[in-house]
Chain A
Amino acid sequence: MSGQKDQASKQSWQCCKCKIPMKTGKVRITYMGNDFTIELLKCPECGLVLVPEDMAVRKMLEVEKSLEDK
């Protein structure tokens, strides 16, 4: 999947409950007692977030591993 297409499909996600499109916003995540704030797509109304596959299996995995060895 090309990056552009990926971007397009990302943007067309909407929150089912609130029926509004997802927007980039700050989200707090935590692992092993470490807190981070990252930019993610989320529902501006209810806060439901979207972690894309690529972020979960690469960046997040990488950070998880490094925190686990701290």
Chain B
Amino acid sequence: MDHKQLLYLEEKCIQGYSPACTTTCPVHVDVKNFMAKVKAGDFDGALKILRKVLPFPGIIGRICDHPCQDVCKRREVGDAVSIAALEKACVQMSSTAPDKIFIQPKKDKRVAVVGGGLSGLTAAFDLSSKGYNVVLFESKDRLGGSIWDTPEEILPRKVIAEETAVLVDLGVEIRFNSTVGEVVSLPDLGRDFDAVYLGLGKISEHTFGLQLDQEGRLQIDPLTFSTGREGVFAGGGLRTSPGYSPVGSLSDGRRAARSIDRYLQNASLFAARENEGSYRTRLFTSTEGVELLPAVVPDNPIQGYTREEAILEAGRCLQCQCLECVKACKYLAHYKGYPRKYLRDINHNLKMVKGNHTANKMINSCSLCGLCQEVCPNDLNMGEVCKNSREIMVIKGKMPPSPHDFPLRDMQFSNGDGFALARHEPGKNGSSHLFFPGCQLSASAPEYVDKVYAYLREKMTGGVGLMLRCCGAPADWAGRKDLFREGRQEIVRLWSEMGKPVVILACSSCYQVFQNYLPEVEIVLLWEIIDRLGLPVVSAKDSPGKVAVLDACTTRHVKSVHESVRRILERLGYEVEELKYSREKTECCGYGGLMSFANPELAHQVIDRRIKESEADYVAYCAMCRDKFASRGKRTFHLLDLIYGADNMDLADREDPGYSQRHENRARLKDKLLREIWGEKVEEAQGFAAIRLDLADELKAIMENRLILVEDLQKVIDYAEKSGNKLYNQATGRYLAYYRPVSVTYWVEYSPRGENFKIHNAYSHRMQIVGEVKI
């Protein structure tokens, strides 16, 4: 993922693009902000917004043909917002004086503008503002052209006079009663002026010998407004006749003026002119859940909206924006921006050599769950971006060690002697299937691993082997391709040695890893097996009630699993409630992507929000989801709780075992299975592991927070007691010792209690004490 790719992805995020009203308006009035000002009752502010792009707001505000309204998103949920009527109300109600126009330094070039209609007036306005000497030739004795066809009660003549007077202020020389072709010829103009704009209106008797199209109109380039003759540009009514669009004429005058400016500066007439005039927006705006509202009808239709009516009507504006992913994902909302902005921050973060890498935490906080892609109109997946970024950070040596160190050591534990195991079923020489329960189910509810393995052995005849270890997901999430590759190779080696059996997975994250990185392995999720082979225990329940399914984000696209889980629940007698975010649109529990290590507070917020989705008990089929929700106080079952737990409704309240107990559970599970299934003798714990600790619950909670394991304390005490390197406090009778078994220094305050050690405090730091400095 390089700079170019990030820019390409940025383009996918359409948040911040102008809404349809603005892009359809040929001069791109900022309708959204205009509406916000009117809604706030700030009519002066609203007029200022009009003035930014409209040289004659009082005129156009009263007569605009408002193509914007036809594309207003509000139409999907009521009538289009009455944009034209509100502009009219605004120009009628606000009389705030325009800001002083900034005129660029005078240039020595002269431009002739022929025709005093809206296009000519606009061209004269823009060119004189740019410092050109402009002479305007008008065949009549007044400015405005076709706008005089509008009845006076709609467009008071006073307004025309007031607004066109600005040209005099700009220094435009106006020659009334000067019909070009009669008083002066086009060749004359070509001689006296450096450029000419023809804005002759819809009726023109003169074609000046210029090239005509098939319908007999002047041939005008639609992008540059140039005619066949060098230095002569044209637009407005003569281009669009017989139709007439006041705002279209205004736009023509402006775009032709831009061409004339480029022409006189010898700049390209064609470069960078996309999105001039009307264009289609790429912005997506959902109207789902928006209340249907009809247009506010003015009490007096002739006068138009009163102040209060205008405020109400402007309040119907949807303030179009996308933010689909930000609405769905707490993480994306947390950083107060949206993907386009985040991609820029990430791009900057990755490129930066020196200085503060302020986006590190953001990159590491994503759960990588992919919900953003599911809801994005352009399939942008921020999870993929974050994961790629992590891999780049690791390769560049720029990955902060603290967010991933602990889970990676947890993975190391699961792949070490304490847990890892690969065996054929006892009494069998081969395996048609291999049960891979995963490290977290084994850590959270080891008894189910035992039970499920018995079930599988009973149901399947070809031999069901067992493999205990970690699939490597933490390394994948941490961007540690090196560690992941090692783990993957070991799995493939063991699996091949076992005769390449079909792997039965009980964890969705394992499933994702196997699916993405071990395509040679045939896999199936346990839930599909149970769905197919029947429930292991027929537990009759009186009235099981309703549960809401927490689909696992790592199998969001595996529809067969969603179906199997629901069928199992139905067979158990449960009524299934679908959460707002479920199946392919499910949300991560905050463990995915190691979010809960990089940003624990955010992970809590993610869960807390999801808890509010339903009052029903939740049921998860991923052990981490179950434990994460339970740890935030939500009654959550594991699917196996409902299969094996009979009527024990308390299982939903089961606490998260905590990191230390997770290790312990895995180690004990391995010992138990070795003893009971394979009849092997298992040695008692020795060395530091034999040290027994008294730990109060409050301290356990602190340790959990600080990511300190019981075995870390055991190692410190083992070291301190053997080496004598410890401090003693006479006042309290306690010892304090430190030891650095890994990249963390652990401190333990303790006192011996018989054969045990009472723990008073535990803390850690990553900084390393190098040694003393002699004073």
Contact = CB atoms under 8 A, between A and B. Distances in A.
- A-B interaction: yes
Contact of A49 (B356, B731, B769): B769
B113 to A, nearest CB: 58
B764 interface: yes
A17 B725 contact: yes
Given A26-B773, A27-B773, A65-B402, A53 B767 contact: no
Contacts of B763: 53, 56-57
A70 B357 contact: yes
B727 A53 contact: no
Nearest to B749: A53
Interface in B719-755: 724-732, 735-736, 738, 745, 747
Contact of B731 (A9, A15, A42, A46): A9
Interface string A22-36: 100111111110010
A28 B775 CA distance: 12
Contact of A48 (B357, B725, B768, B773): B725
A60 B729 contact: no
Interface string B345-356: 000000000111
Given A56-B764, A56-B765, A68-B360, A30 B770 contact: yes
Contacts of A17: 724-725
Contacts of B729: 9, 12-14
B736 A13 contact: yes
B245 interface: no
Contacts of B731: 8-9, 12
A28 B360 CA distance: 28
A29 to B, nearest CB: 5
Contact of B738 (A37, A46, A51, A60): A51
Contact of B400 (A13, A22, A25, A69): A69
A53 B699 CA distance: 14
A28 B772 CA distance: 6
Contacts of A14: 727-730
Contacts of A31: 766-768
A28 B773 CA distance: 6
A38 B745 CA distance: 17
A13 B734 CA distance: 9
Contacts of A51: 738, 745, 747, 765, 769
A29 B727 contact: no
Nearest to B773: A26
A31 B761 CA distance: 24
A16 B773 contact: no
Contacts of B769: 27-29, 49, 51
B598 to A, nearest CB: 11
Nearest to A49: B769
Contacts of A26: 772-773, 775
Nearest to A68: B400
Interface in A37-69: 37, 42, 46-51, 53, 56-57, 60-61, 63-66, 68-69
A65 B400 CA distance: 8
Given A9-B729, A70-B357, A29 B736 contact: no
A16 B770 contact: no
Contacts of B728: 13-16
B241 interface: no
B262 interface: no
A48 B402 contact: no
Contacts of A56: 747, 763-765
Contacts of A57: 706, 763, 765
Interface of B: 354-358, 360-361, 400-402, 706, 724-732, 735-736, 738, 745, 747, 761, 763-773, 775
Given A16-B724, A28-B772, A51-B745, 17 more contacts: A13-B729, A15-B727, A16-B726, A25-B773, A27-B769, A31-B766, A31-B767, A50-B727, A53-B761, A56-B747, A56-B765, A57-B765, A63-B767, A64-B765, A65-B402, A68-B401, A69-B356
